[in-house]
Structure 1
Amino acid sequence: MEIVTIDNRELAYVEKGKSHANTVVLIHGFCGSSDYWKKIIEPLSHTYHIIAVDLRGHGRSTFDGAAFEMEDLARDVKVLLDRLGLHSVYLFGHSLGGYVTLAFAELFPESLKGYGLIHSTAYPDSDEGKAGRLKAIEKIQDLGIQAFIDGLIPNLFADNYMAANPADVEDVKEIGYNTDPLAAMETLAAMRKRPDRNTVIDNQEIPFLLVQGQFDKIVPKDRAVNSSAPFVVVKDIDAGHMGMIENPDGLLSILAEFMES
């Protein structure tokens, strides 16, 4: 695990496969960390230079208590890439990481060779979704991060996978317990405020990948992306909301095919 300091905050990241020319940046979902990607980092690093980031207050990255928006998280990623001298990358974001990826694509399109959403959406929260974010903030305030994570994580997995792989579910819970509670609440507030970014995909001619879980209970397929642009690739994967854990081989093959094409 490597660390860079940004405005007195520590941003942690994993780096592997340094000798390869093409860089792939991976951004985890809410209450996750770079450990979400551990089943695919090693095999991807045989062909690509991999950077997996811990967002503010997640994993091993610290949080300074200040409010932030998706754009600020995207700027953190840009600062890291600039410090590492990386000017053109592939960027893939899971769930929350997808919101950050779209903010990055809007702010820094010149830095992208291609980008994608993994179990994520370009739409903003619905009114019901916004109300759910407020309830989640209250739950963390009232009951603490552990109770919140215990309620959150089971919904992320396909039922069959969860029944057959309880150790993976527990691993993801443990990752979640390490999230800074205040950072989790600020992240919920930031997700609640994020805009519709479907136009970002349509207005840029950058190759774009959407990976959808066949059993995803969090992001319905009709609420993922609204685009008919010719450079958009949509792939289904046999998984719930956690393809990088539930079906790493399937996700690896989708990512490789997208980047090689």
Structure 2
Amino acid sequence: MNALATVSTDQEQKPAMFYEVHGEGDPVVMIHGLGGNSNIWTPQVTTLQRFFRVIRPDLVGSGFSRLDGETISIERYIRDIVGLLDRLDIGSAHLVGHSMGTIVCQHLAAWHPERVRSLALFGPIHTPSDAARDALRARAETSRTRGMLPVAEAVVQGGTSAYTRADRPEIAAFVREATLRQHPEAYAQTCEALANAQPADTDRIRCPSILVTGDEDGTAPPTAAGSLALSLPDADFTVLSRCGHWTSLERPRDVTEALTTFYFSRTFR
């Protein structure tokens, strides 16, 4: 594993971008979403690292990556991921994204098609609706004025399925803890970055894709995710039952199977 061995929870002491690298082979870069961090992909890494070089960054302001003086934006995330590829001497990679991370992936594939071999999008978003943009800006205000506790409670209730909350309390607890530990200002800026996100030009995306969402995903509902899949030239689309927005955690085996099946049946044929 290549990663920074020690990290601090103090913003000033955190690295510019924390990341972990597991395994060897073709590179797979896994990008988390709003309120998440690189740990949301932990259930998939055990299998993927047997076949691939798996890179998991914490986006700026999230996890162990610090909030610096530059305002967070989708464009900043894209630049940071391209910079990480350059730092690791990776010409092109398979991109995996969750939620907001899927927007980053789509823009990367549209702007830098030579750097992207495939897209795997979980809880995929093309662009937030007007209502979602307003809700994100309101959430940013909440995190700044009231802290992360009310945000964390709302994320668990609105972002996970009824089955997860009732029968998988450890997953609900993980989502709550991951959100609760976000830096309030960094989280607020991330909300605003997502609220201001513009749709990627899907006509410019040429790589194979897989899109997966949950039947109880209110952020990336099946109708919207399905429409996004139809706009991509070479895409498979799957809906997971009893699943909310936190796909990789709520249905970890299905997500791992979807990824491995996609890679070995579609991207290496």
Runs of 4+ that moved beyond 3 A: none
User: Aligned equivalents of 1:179 and 1:86: distance in 2?
Assistant: 30
1:1-261 matched pairs, under 5 angstroms: 2-3=3-4, 10-17=16-23, 19-20=24-25, 22-122=26-126, 124-197=127-200, 199-200=201-202, 202-224=203-225, 225=228, 227-238=230-241, 239-260=243-264, 261=266
Q: Distance in 1 between matches of 2:255 and 2:122?
A: 9
Shift of 1:41: 0.9
SS at match of 1:11: coil
Distance across 2 between alignment mates of 1:109 and 1:241: 27
Query: CA offset at residue 229 of structure 1?
Result: 4.5
Distance 2:32 2:221 in 1: 19
| Secondary structure of residue in 2 paired with 1:82 | helix
Q: TM-score, normalised by structure 1?
A: 0.90
Contact 2:34 2:100 survives alignment (8 Å): yes
| TM-score using structure 2 length | 0.88
- Pairwise CA distance, 1:129: 1.5
- In structure 1, runs of 5+ residues without a counterpart are none
**Letter paired with 1:109:** P
Offset of residue 230 of structure 1: 4.2
Change in CA separation of 1:128 and 1:229 when aligned onto 2, cut-off 3 Å: closer
Deviation at 1:191, TM superposition (A): 0.9
Which moves more between the two structures, 66-75 or 87-96? Answer: 66-75
Could you report, residue by residue, the CA deviation over 1:17-50 in whole angstroms, capped at 9, with x for unpaired residues?
A: 0x32x11111112111011111111111111110
**Aligned-partner SS, 2:16:** strand
- Residue aligned with 2:134, SS: helix
Secondary structure, aligned partner of 2:139:
helix
Query: Aligned Cα RMSD in Å?
Result: 1.9
Quick one: distance in 2 between partners of 1:231 and 1:249?
A: 24
Partner of 2:11: none
Unaligned runs of 5+ in 2: 5-13
Contact 1:237 1:251 in 2 (8 A): no
| Structure 1 residue 178 displacement after superposition | 2.1
Question: CA deviation digits over 1:89-137, x for unaligned, max 9?
Answer: 1001100111111122222211111012210211x22221121112111
Comparing 97-106 and 49-58, the one that deviates more: 97-106
Letter in 2 for 1:64: D
Deviations 1:139-197 (A, max 9, x none): 11221122211221222211012111112211222122221211111111111111122
Deviation (angstroms), 1:60: 0.5
Whether the 8 Å contact between 1:9 and 1:63 is mirrored in structure 2 is no
CA displacement at 1:77 relative to structure 2: 0.9
Native 8 Å contact 1:89 1:113 kept in 2? yes
Secondary structure in structure 2 of the residue aligned to 1:211: strand
Q: 1:12, 1:61 within 8 Å by CA — same for their partners in 2? A: yes
- Deviation per CA, 1:56-89: give whole Å up to 9, x if none: 1111111114213212101111111111111111
Query: Displacement, 1:210?
Result: 1.0
- Kindly provide the amino acid, as one letter, of the partner of residue 39 in structure 2: D
The more displaced of 163-172 and 217-226 is 217-226
SS of equivalent residue, structure 2 residue 50: coil
Note closer, same or farther for the CA distance 1:228–1:150 as it changes in structure 2 (3 Å cut).
closer
Deviates more, 1:249-258 or 1:209-218: 209-218
Judge conservation of contact 2:121–2:210 (CA < 8 Å) in 1: yes
Equivalent pairs, count: 253
